[in-house]
Amino acid sequence: MATANKNLSVYDKETIPNAKDFRFGIVVSEWNTEITNGLYLGAVEALKDCGALEENIVKWDVPGSFELIYGSKKMIASQKVDAVIAIGSVIQGETKHFDFVCSGTAQGIKDLNVLTDTPVIFCVLTDNTLQQAIDRSGGKHGNKGTEAAIAAIKMAALG
């Protein structure tokens, strides 16, 4: 696994732009809530640590990871955000559904990055097991939500 020797929550605050003047959207899948809530908390903590104001962080919930695309698109259109973090968790099951959801979600978020001037950060865990998801959402590998927040700040600063 790519995160085996990396803690996702480690960043050098001195190299991150101050986020106080940016507005962030976070769209969170309600599927696998234990995981997505951990990712959300990691993202918010990192945003605030880097200067983002709580009133400049907007959270919307959507039913699942596939719906992150539409939720992110609507957030960009209506909330005047500088970046969106799309948070989801898809865990391998016994059917091909996993492949379709992961592929469609990744492609949809990629499309938003091509079609809009607002960066959308892909924070969707695509794990083989629940334990892998736990390990990457605040467990032994840190928090992918933290990593996504740092990416959102850096991308917002490009605008």
DSSP-derived 3-state class of residue 85: strand
Active site residue 141: no
Catalytic residue among 97, 100, 110, 131: 97
Contacts for 115 with CB less than 8 Å, ≥ 6 apart: none
Q: Residue 64: which of 2, 108, 95, 116 has the closest Cα?
A: 108
- d(C-alpha 55, C-alpha 126), whole Å: 30
What does the DSSP 8-state code read for residue 17?
P
DSSP-derived 3-state class of residue 113: helix
By annotation, the residues acting in catalysis are 97
